[in-house]
A and B are shown apart, each in its own frame.
Chain A
Amino acid sequence: MNGQQIAATEKKPFAKTRQFFSDLAKGSILTKISCVFMGAGQIGRKQFVKGAVYFILECLFFYYLISFGLGYLAKFGTLGTVAAPEGVWSDELGHFIYPKGDNSFLILLYSVVTLIIIAAFIILWVMNVRGNILNDKLVAEGKKVSTIKEDLYSFINEKFHITLLIPPLLGLLVFTIMPLIFMILIAFTNYDYSNLPPDKLFTWVGFENFKELFTGFGVSGGSGFGVTFLRVLGWTLVWAFFATFSNYFLGMIVALMINKKGIRFKKFFRTMFVIAIAVPQFVTLLLMQKILDVDGILNVILGTNIRWLADTRWNSLIPRIVIIVVNMWIGIPYTLLMCSGVLMNIPADLSEAARIDGANSVQIFFKITLPYMLHVTGPHLITQFVGNINNFNIIWLLTGGGPIDILKYSDQAQSTDLLVTWLYRLTTDNPVRYNIASVIGIIIFVISAGLSLITYNRSSAAKNEEDYQ
C-alpha cells in the first residue's frame, strides 16, 4: 500500500461527516426542525408512525438523562465524594438510620450505562436526520416518500441484516459489552477490600494496579505480588502447552488406531471413549477429586498413601501431573471424535492414486494422511490452547487451585492456580481485590486475543469465505 492510498482511506470518514453536515445545511426547513424535534420532518411528510416513534424515543431519552443518568454521570470523574456517614440511632423508629452517601460502584456502573445510551441516541439522531435528507431528495426529484408498509417490508429484505442482528447484539451489549467495559474500568481504580462500597468510596488510580502486578509494590504496599504473578502465569502456560499437545497427539493416535483398516469393533471402541464425553464434566471432575483423595479409592486399591492432589513437594509436581493426566481422560475423546470426522473426509482418490503408484500403507500414512490431518486441524490446536488457558472447571473442581504454598505464593494464589482461577478467587474470597482481578482479566485477554487473531487471520476461512461454494 502506498502513501496515497493510506491517506485516502484515512480521509474517508471525515469526508462522509462533512458531506452529512453540508447536506444538513442545505436541507429543507423540516429537516432542520427535526434536528431538535426528532420525527417532526417525517410527520410533516405524512410518515406519522415513523415520526411518532422517533419523537417518543427522544422524549424517553431526555427523561432518562435528566431524571437519572446525568446525576451519576456528573460524579464519573471522582466516583463520589461523600462517603456514607455512620449510622444514627433513631428513637422514633427503634433502629439505626443509615444516611446515604455516594456509592462509587453504582456511579461507575450507571455512568457506563448512561454513556452507552447516549451513544445509541446519537446513532438514532443521525438515522433520523439521514432519513430527512433522503426525503428532501425524493421530494426534490418529484418522487413519493416511502410508506410505512414499504418501510416495514425493507426490514425483511434490503435491511434484513438489521432485523437479524439487533436482538442478538442487544443481548451481547447488555450482558457482555457493558459488563466488560465496566470491569476494564475497574482495573484503573482502587476497588478492593479496603474500599468496599456502600460504606467506603473508591476512586481512579491510573496505572497503579498494573505497576503493582509487574513490580510487586503498589497501592496496597504488598510485596511479592509480581513474583506470584509470574509463577501463576508460568504454570498457566506450561499447563496449556502440555494439556493441548498431550490431548491432540494422543487423541490423534487413538483415532488412527481405531480407524486403521483391518481393525474390527470400531464402533464399540469409539463408544467406550464417547461415554466419557457424555458424562457432564463437573460430575467426572468431582468424582476424580474423590477417587484421588488421600482416603480415596485409588490409594485403597494401590495400598499407598500418596496425596495426589495436595502434595506440595517439588513445586507441587504431583498434583500438576495428575491434573494433566485427568485432563487427558477428559480431552482425548473430543480429539478422537474430531479426528475421526476428519479422517473420513480425506479424499479417497488421493490415497488410491498413491497406492496405484506403488506406495505402501506406511508411506501413505506419512505422506498423505498425517499432513492432511495436521493441515486441517491445525487452527483447532490454537483454539484449544486458548481454551486451556481459560480452563476454569478442571482446576477449580479438582484441586480448587490448591495446595496452598505460602512460601512461594502471596495474595491468595495457590500452587495449581491458573490465571482464571486466581482471578475468580480474588473476586469471591476475602480479602477481595476486584481491581487486581480486572488487571489479570485484561492480561488473559491480551494473551488469548493475540493468539487467536494470528490464527484467524492466517486460516483460509477468513480470506476465502466463498471458496466452499
Chain B
Amino acid sequence: MTNVNNNSQVAVKKHKKSNLGIKALDTAANTLIYVILSVMSVLWVLPICYLLYTAFRVTPNTGIINKLFPEDLQLGLGNFIRLFKDTMFLRWFGNTLFVATVSCLITTLFVLMVSYAMSRLRFKLRKPMMNVLLILGMFPGFMSMIAVYFILKALGLTNSLFALILVYSSGAALSYYICKGFFDTIPRSLDEAALLDGASKLRVFWSITVPMSKPIIIYTVLTSFISPWCDFIFVNTIINDRETYTVALGLYKMINAEKSSFNENFTVFCAGACVVGSIITALFISMQRYYVEGISSGAVKG
C-alpha cells in the first residue's frame, strides 16, 4: 500500500514512463528478496530441526547414522525419559535455576547501582573510575581463572553453587555501560525537582530512576539470567562434583567426557539441549522487544 502511495507522490514530479520502470524493477527486486530470505530461513532453521529430530530419535540412538532416515528409525520420547531417569539432569537443572536466579538479581542490582552513580552523581574519581572499569573489562577472563579458583579455595567455597554465584555476579560492575547510556537519556529535571522537595538521592534513585528504566532492567535481567545456562568454562574449573554441575557443564560432559560417550549419549544430549533451549527461547521471544532496545541503545551510545 505505502509503496503505491509513494510512487504516486513521485509521479507528480516525474514522467509516468520512468515511474512504471521503477515499479517493475521494484517487483523484481522484491521477488529476489523473497527467494533469498526463504533460502536463508531454511538454512537457519535446518540445524535446529536436526536437533529436534535427533532428540526424538529413539533408534538408532547413536550419534553416527549412515542415512538421514535409516530403516530402523523410530521416533518417540525415549531420550527424554532417559534424560530424566538415567542422568542427573533434574538436579543440574535445579542448580542452574538457583544460580541463574540469584546471580541475575545481584547482577541487575549492581549494574543499576554503578550505572546510576556514573550517570547521575558527580564525584571526584568518576572519570578515572569509568576508564579503569572499561580497561578491566578487556582482560580475558580465562587469564585469571586459576587465581580465582585458588581464592575460592582459600575461602573454602570450591564445589559450591555460592562460588558460581559470586563469580558470575562479581563482574557486574564491568557491564554498566549500556545501562549508563540509558540513564543519561532520562531528563534530569525530574531528579532536580525531587531533590528540591527534600528527597534524598536514594529516594530519587529508587522511586524515580528505577521505575523509568523498565526496558534496560529487563534487558539486564534477561542477559544475566541466560549466561549461567550457557557458561561451562568457569563451572568446569570451579566444580568437579557431578552433584553440583550446572546444565551446560552436565550436557557438555555427557558427550565430551570420553570420546566413546559422544556416540552413545548424543541423542540424550539433544533431548537435554531441547529442554534448555526451549526455556531460553520462550524467555527470549517474550522479551525480544526489550532485548532489541537494549542492544540498539548500546550501539547508539557505544
B285 interface neighbour in A172, A274, A281, Cβ under 8 Å? A274
Which residues 253-301 in B have Cβ within 8 Å of A in the complex? Answer: 255-256, 262, 266, 269-270, 273, 276-277, 280-281, 283-285, 288, 291-293, 295-296, 298-301
The yes or no answer to B99 lying at the interface (CB within 8 A) is no
Q: How large is the interface on B (under 10, 10 to 19, 20 to 34, 35 or more residues)?
A: 35 or more
Inter-chain contacts of A70 with B (CB < 8 A): none
B144 with A288: CB separation less than 8 A? no
From A45-53, A73-81, A221-229, A441-449, the one touching the partner chain is: A441-449
The yes or no answer to B64 lying at the interface (CB within 8 A) is yes
Q: How large is the interface on A (under 10, 10 to 19, 20 to 34, 35 or more residues)?
A: 35 or more
A295 with B64: CB separation less than 8 A? yes
| A148-159 vs B, Cβ < 8 Å mask (1 yes, 0 no) | 000001001110
Which residues 187-246 in B have Cβ within 8 Å of A in the complex? Answer: 187-188, 200-202, 205, 226, 229-230, 232-233
Answer whether A180 and B151 are a contact pair too, CB < 8 Å, given A269-B41, A274-B284, A329-B44: no
The yes or no answer to A410 lying at the interface (CB within 8 A) is no
A346 to chain B, nearest CB (A): 11
The yes or no answer to B60 lying at the interface (CB within 8 A) is no
| A329-346 vs B, Cβ < 8 Å mask (1 yes, 0 no) | 100011001101110010
B170 with A176: CB separation less than 8 A? yes
Inter-chain contacts of B299 with A (CB < 8 A): 338, 341-342, 376-377, 379-380
A386 to B301, CA, bound (A): 17
A180 interface neighbour in B126, B139, B252, Cβ under 8 Å? B139
A105 interface neighbour in B133, B150, B280, B302, Cβ under 8 Å? B150
A300 with B66: CB separation less than 8 A? yes
The yes or no answer to A291 lying at the interface (CB within 8 A) is yes
Inter-chain contacts of A274 with B (CB < 8 A): 284-285, 288
A468 with B37: CB separation less than 8 A? no
Inter-chain contacts of B41 with A (CB < 8 A): 269, 272-273
A383 to B256, CA, bound (A): 31
Answer whether A288 and B276 are a contact pair too, CB < 8 Å, given A168-B113, A295-B64: no
A211 to B226, CA, bound (A): 42
A141 to chain B, nearest CB (A): 24
Answer whether A420 and B140 are a contact pair too, CB < 8 Å, given A178-B151, A283-B273: yes
A257 with B170: CB separation less than 8 A? no
A297 to B66, CA, bound (A): 8
A459 to B251, CA, bound (A): 41
B45 with A160: CB separation less than 8 A? no
Which residues 285-318 in A have Cβ within 8 Å of B in the complex? Answer: 286-288, 290-291, 293, 295-297, 300-301
A195 to B56, CA, bound (A): 51
The yes or no answer to A279 lying at the interface (CB within 8 A) is yes
Inter-chain contacts of A380 with B (CB < 8 A): 298-299, 302
A50 to B11, CA, bound (A): 80
A441 with B147: CB separation less than 8 A? no
The yes or no answer to B34 lying at the interface (CB within 8 A) is yes
Which residues 424-467 in A have Cβ within 8 Å of B in the complex? Answer: 424, 427, 434, 437-438, 441, 444-445, 448-449, 452-453, 456, 459, 461, 465-466
A296 to B10, CA, bound (A): 55
By beta carbon, the residue of chain A nearest B262 is A290
A282 interface neighbour in B44, B129, B252, Cβ under 8 Å? B252
B266 with A278: CB separation less than 8 A? no
Which residues 209-245 in A have Cβ within 8 Å of B in the complex? Answer: none
A287 with B51: CB separation less than 8 A? yes
Which residues 19-63 in B have Cβ within 8 Å of A in the complex? Answer: 22, 26, 30, 33-34, 36-37, 40-41, 43-45, 47-48, 50-51, 63
| B118-138 vs A, Cβ < 8 Å mask (1 yes, 0 no) | 010101001001000111101
The yes or no answer to B92 lying at the interface (CB within 8 A) is no
By beta carbon, the residue of chain A nearest B273 is A283
Inter-chain contacts of A345 with B (CB < 8 A): 296, 300
Inter-chain contacts of A383 with B (CB < 8 A): 302
By beta carbon, the residue of chain A nearest B202 is A156
Inter-chain contacts of B40 with A (CB < 8 A): 254, 273
Which residues 155-176 in B have Cβ within 8 Å of A in the complex? Answer: 166-167, 169-174
A176 with B280: CB separation less than 8 A? no
Answer whether A297 and B277 are a contact pair too, CB < 8 Å, given A157-B202, A280-B248, A287-B50: no
Given contacts A168-B113, A175-B170, A177-B136, 7 further A-B contacts (CB under 8 A): A105-B150, A156-B202, A160-B201, A160-B205, A272-B44, A345-B296, A466-B184
Q: 27 A-B residue contacts at CB 8 Å?
A: A109-B147, A161-B117, A165-B117, A165-B129, A171-B171, A172-B173, A174-B151, A178-B147, A179-B148, A183-B144, A254-B37, A260-B33, A262-B26, A263-B33, A286-B252, A286-B256, A293-B63, A295-B64, A337-B296, A341-B299, A342-B300, A360-B10, A383-B302, A423-B142, A445-B139, A445-B140, A469-B187
5 pairs of A and B residues whose beta carbons are closest in the complex = A341-B296, A179-B144, A171-B170, A441-B143, A179-B147
